[in-house]
C-alpha cells in the first residue's frame, strides 16, 4: 500500500477535541486509514512510504472556502471603499468586461496558490471561463465546486438565454473533472441580477439533473428592498418559489434574513455561506450567524473575491466571523472559537457536498498542518482558540489534498509560485491598461 504518515503532532478531531496523534493516509484512495497513537497506527506508520513531520504542529482538516470568485485576485486592491452596487457597476464589471480566458486562468492560479499556502484545500467558485478554472484545480491538486455565474440584467434576450445555457452546460460538462475533484453547480448571480423567467427555467433544469444551485442572496438592503416592494414577499420566499432552496444548494451571504427566512433555510436543508470580511468591507451588514446556527442551518465560511476582502485566507475569515458574530449578537459568547472552526471545515464540506472537513478513518485525506511553534501562538492553552483567533495563513506548514502533498515545509509542489506571481502581476497591469483605454 502507498501510505503517507503525518507524524509527531496533535490532531483536531471532528468533536472539536485535540489529541496527540499521527494521521496515516492511503495515497491511492486519498482517504485516511488511521488516526491516533496506538499499535495499529504505529504499524501503518512503520510501513509508510512517505512522512510529513508535524512535530510542534496541529493537523487540521483542510479548510473550505465556500464562496469566492478566485480569479478576482487580479483585481485585489483595484477598487476599494465603495458599497456593493457602485463597486460592481463602476469598477468591477467594467474591468471584468476586459478579462480574457487567459487572465482568468492566471488569476485562478494565483488564488489557488494563496489558498494552498494558507491551508485551504477546497473552494466554491462562481465566475466565467470555468473550464480554465477547472484546469487550474486539476493541476494544483485541490477540490472545488465550480460554476459559471449568470447575469441577465442589462442583456438582450438572446444573450441572457445564452448565459443560462452556458451555466447549465458547464455544470454538465465539467462535473467529475480532475479525477472527481471538480464538482459543479448552476450559479445564477443573484435574485436581482437574473430575471425571473431565467431563474425559473435554469433552476428547474438544474434540479432535474441533480445539479446544485448556488447564488448570492440577501447580501445588502438595496438588494432585499426592491424584491419586497415589487413582489410583496421576502427574497428567500421568492427563492423557495423558484425552487432554489433544498439539500445541496447553498447561498452566499444571507446577511439580511428575517426569522421566517432562517426557518426556510433550516427546513429545506439549504446551506448559508457567511462572508464576514466582504460584508464588512462593502458595509453590507452582519449576517445573524448565531441565529442561523441555532436554527440548524449549515453555515460555511467564504472569503468572497479578493477584491472585496482582500485576501483568500480562511484563518482571517474565522477570526472575523467570531468577532463580528459577537458584535452582531451583542454577546461575547456568540459564535465561539469552536463554531468558526467547524464552519471553516465540516460546515464548508457539508455546504459544498464535497469530501473532507473531518479527520477520521475513512474520510478524505484533505489536511493542513499548522505550525504552533511561533511567538504569536505561544503558549498553547487551547489550540482551537488559536485556530480561531491567532493563527495566520502563513503559519501553515504542509497542505495535503486527496492524499497528495500539495505543500511541504511551505513550498508549494504543484504550482511554481514565482512564475504564478509574475504572470498574475503582468496580466493584472495589462488588464488595468485595457480598462483605462476602453
Ligand atoms: N457571467 C456573468 C458574470 C457573473 S460571475 C459572478 C460575479 O459576481 C461578482 N461579485 C463578486 N463579489 C460579489 C459580491 O459580494 N456580491 C455580488 N457579486 C459579487 C463578480 O464580480 C462577478 O461579476 C456576466 O456576464 O457578467
Ligand atoms: Zn460573491
* Cα-Cα-Cα-Cα dihedral sign, residues 260, 261, 262, 268: positive
290 domain residue, yes or no: yes
367 and 233, same domain (yes or no): no
92 and 203, same domain (yes or no): yes
Q: Which position has the grid cell 421568492?
A: 238
305 Cβ inside 6 Å of ligand 1: yes
**How many CA atoms does the CB half-sphere of 161 hold within 13 Å?**
2
Q: Tell me if 313 sits within 8 A of 272, measured CB to CB.
A: no
Number of domains in the chain: 2
Q: Which residues of 33-72 are buried (b: 16+ CB within 10 A; e: fewer)?
A: bbbbeeeebeebbeebeeebbbebbbbbbbbbbbbbbbbb
Parallel/antiparallel/unpaired status of strands 404-408 and 396-401: antiparallel
* 235-264 mean pLDDT: 98
Q: Does the pLDDT of residue 438 top 90, yes or no?
A: no
User: Would you place residue 149 in the very low, low, confident or very high pLDDT band (cuts 50, 70, 90)?
Assistant: very high
Ligand at shortest distance from the CA of 279: 1
321 and 390, same domain (yes or no): no
Is 267 annotated to bind a ligand? Reply is no
CA dist 184 and 356 (Å) reads 17
68 and 52, same domain (yes or no): no
Condensed to tens digits (0 to 9), the pLDDT of residues 160-203 reads 999 999 999 999 999 999 999 999 999 999 999 999 999 999 99
Condensed to tens digits (0 to 9), the pLDDT of residues 304-316 reads 999 999 999 999 9
Distance 88 CA to ligand 1 centre (A): 8
105 domain residue, yes or no: yes
What is the complex's ipTM, to 2 decimals?
0.94
Ranking 41-55, 76-90, 261-275, 408-422 by mean pLDDT, the lowest is: 41-55
155 domain residue, yes or no: yes
> What CATH number is given to the structural domain containing 104?
3.20.20.140
97 domain residue, yes or no: yes
- Residue 20 CB partners (closer than 8 Å, separation 6+): 9, 10, 11, 37
Nearest alpha carbon, ligand 1 atom 12: 305
- Residue 54 CB partners (closer than 8 Å, separation 6+): 6, 7, 8, 9, 10, 22, 369, 397, 398
C-alpha cell at 53: 513531520
437 domain residue, yes or no: no
CA dist 372 and 390 (Å) reads 10
429 domain residue, yes or no: no
Closest CA to 288 of 316, 251, 254, 265: 254
Is 219 annotated to bind a ligand? Reply is yes
Closest CA to 153 of 188, 115, 123, 121: 188
| Residue 253 CA, closest ligand 1 atom number | 15
87 Cβ inside 6 Å of ligand 1: no
Distance 148 CA to ligand 1 centre (A): 10
Nearest alpha carbon, ligand 1 atom 22: 127
57 and 67, same domain (yes or no): no
Helix, strand, coil percent values for the chain (each to nearest 5): 45, 20, 35
| Residue 127 CA, closest ligand 1 atom number | 5
Is 216 annotated to bind a ligand? Reply is yes
Ligand at shortest distance from the CA of 192: 1
Q: How far is CA 101 from CA 169, 243, 417, in A?
A: 17, 32, 20
User: Would you place residue 395 in the very low, low, confident or very high pLDDT band (cuts 50, 70, 90)?
Assistant: very high
Nearest alpha carbon, ligand 1 atom 26: 151
149 Cβ inside 6 Å of ligand 1: yes
188 Cβ inside 6 Å of ligand 1: no
- Kindly write down the DSSP assignment for every residue of 308-320, as one continuous string: GTS---HHHHHHH
Query: Which domain range does residue 276 map to?
Result: 63-352
CA dist 212 and 215 (Å) reads 10
Ligand at shortest distance from the CA of 255: 1
CA dist 354 and 356 (Å) reads 7
Distance 150 CA to ligand 1 centre (A): 8
331 and 360, same domain (yes or no): no
Distance 100 CA to ligand 2 centre (A): 20
CA dist 180 and 165 (Å) reads 23
Beta bridge partners of 87: none
287 Cβ inside 6 Å of ligand 1: no
Parallel/antiparallel/unpaired status of strands 22-26 and 120-127: unpaired
* 103-116 mean pLDDT: 98
Q: Determine the pLDDT at residue 207.
A: 98
81 and 36, same domain (yes or no): no
Distance 274 CA to ligand 1 centre (A): 16
433 domain residue, yes or no: no
139 and 166, same domain (yes or no): yes
181 and 285, same domain (yes or no): yes
User: 352, 376, 392 — which closes off a domain?
Assistant: 352
127 Cβ inside 6 Å of ligand 1: yes
User: Would you place residue 249 in the very low, low, confident or very high pLDDT band (cuts 50, 70, 90)?
Assistant: very high
204 and 283, same domain (yes or no): yes
Report the SS3 class of residue 50. Answer: strand
Report the SS3 class of residue 421. Answer: helix
Q: Tell me if 343 sits within 8 A of 290, measured CB to CB.
A: no
Q: Does the pLDDT of residue 49 top 90, yes or no?
A: no
| Residue 92 CA, closest ligand 1 atom number | 21
321 and 199, same domain (yes or no): yes
84 Cβ inside 6 Å of ligand 1: yes
127 domain residue, yes or no: yes
274 Cβ inside 6 Å of ligand 1: no
Q: Determine the pLDDT at residue 376.
A: 98
Q: Does the pLDDT of residue 53 top 90, yes or no?
A: yes
Q: Determine the pLDDT at residue 40.
A: 81
67 Cβ inside 6 Å of ligand 1: no
> What CATH number is given to the structural domain containing 28?
2.30.40.10
115 and 173, same domain (yes or no): yes
C-alpha cell at 204: 428547474
Q: Determine the pLDDT at residue 38.
A: 83
- Residue 345 CB partners (closer than 8 Å, separation 6+): 60, 61, 62, 63, 64, 356, 357, 358
- Kindly write down the DSSP assignment for every residue of 161-204, as one continuous string: HHHHHHHHHHHHHHTTTGGGTEEE-BEE-BTTTS-HHHHHHHHH
Amino acid at each position: 500500500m502507498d501510505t503517507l504518515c503525518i507524524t509527531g503532532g496533535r490532531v483536531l478531531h471532528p468533536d472539536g477535541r485535540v489529541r496527540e496523534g499521527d494521521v496515516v493516509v492511503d495515497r491511492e484512495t486519498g482517504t485516511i486509514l488511521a488516526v491516533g497513537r496506538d499499535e495499529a497506527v504505529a504499524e501503518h506508520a512503520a510501513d509508510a512510504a512517505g512522512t510529513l513531520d508535524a512535530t510542534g504542529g496541529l493537523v487540521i482538516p483542510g479548510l473550505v472556502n465556500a464562496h469566492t470568485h478566485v480569479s478576482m485576485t487580479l483585481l485585489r486592491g483595484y477598487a476599494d471603499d465603495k458599497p456593493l452596487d457602485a463597486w460592481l457597476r463602476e469598477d468591477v464589471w467594467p474591468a471584468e468586461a476586459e478579462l480574457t480566458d487567459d487572465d482568468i486562468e492566471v488569476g485562478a492560479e494565483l488564488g489557488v496558490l494563496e489558498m494552498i499556502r494558507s491551508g485551504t484545500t477546497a473552494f466554491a467558485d462562481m465566475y466565467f471561463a470555468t473550464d480554465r478554472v477547472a484546469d487550474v484545480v486539476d493541476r494544483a491538486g485541490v477540490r472545488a465546486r465550480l460554476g459559471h455565474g449568470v447575469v441577465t440584467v442589462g442583456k438582450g434576450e438572446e444573450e441572457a438565454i445564452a448565459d443560462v445555457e452556458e451555466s447549465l452546460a458547464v455544470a454538465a460538462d465539467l462535473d467529475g473533472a480532475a479525477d472527481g475533484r471538480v464538482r459543479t453547480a448552476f450559479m445564477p448571480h443573484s435574485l436581482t441580477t437574473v430575471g425571473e423567467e431565467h431563474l425559473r427555467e435554469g433552476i428547474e433544469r438544474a434540479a432535474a439533473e441533480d445539479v446544485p444551485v448556488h447564488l448570492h442572496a440577501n447580501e445588502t438592503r438595496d438588494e432585499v428592498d426592491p424584491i419586497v416592494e415589487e413582489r410583496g414577499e421576502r427574497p428567500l420566499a421568492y427563492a423557495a418559489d423558484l425552487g432554489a432552496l433544498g439539500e445541496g444548494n447553498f447561498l452566499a451571504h444571507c446577511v439580511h434574513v428575517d426569522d421566517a427566512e432562517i426557518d426556510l433555510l433550516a427546513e429545506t436543508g439549504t446551506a448559508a455561506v457567511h462572508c464576514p470580511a466582504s460584508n464588512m468591507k462593502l458595509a453590507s451588514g452582519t449576517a445573524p450567524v448565531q441565529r442561523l446556527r441555532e436554527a440548524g442551518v449549515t453555515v460555511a465560511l467564504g472569503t468572497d473575491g479578493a477584491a472585496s476582502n482582500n485576501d483568500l485566507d480562511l484563518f482571517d475569515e474565522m477570526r472575523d466571523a467570531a468577532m463580528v458574530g459577537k458584535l452582531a449578537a451583542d454577546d461575547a459568547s456568540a459564535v465561539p472559537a469552536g463554531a468558526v472552526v467547524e464552519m471553516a471545515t465540516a460546515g464548508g464540506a457539508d455546504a459544498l457536498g464535497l469530501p473532507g472537513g473531518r479527520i477520521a478513518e475513512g474520510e478524505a485525506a484533505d489536511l493542513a498542518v499548522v505550525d504552533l511553534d511561533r511567538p504569536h501562538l505561544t503558549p498553547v492553552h487551547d489550540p482551537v482558540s488559536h485556530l480561531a483567533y491567532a493563527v495566520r495563513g502563513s503559519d501553515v506548514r504542509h497542505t495535503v489534498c486527496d492524499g497528495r502533498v500539495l505543500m511541504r515545509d511551505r513550498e508549494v509542489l504543484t504550482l511554481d509560485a514565482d512564475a504564478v506571481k509574475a504572470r498574475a502581476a503582468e496580466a493584472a497591469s495589462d488588464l488595468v491598461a485595457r480598462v483605462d483605454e476602453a
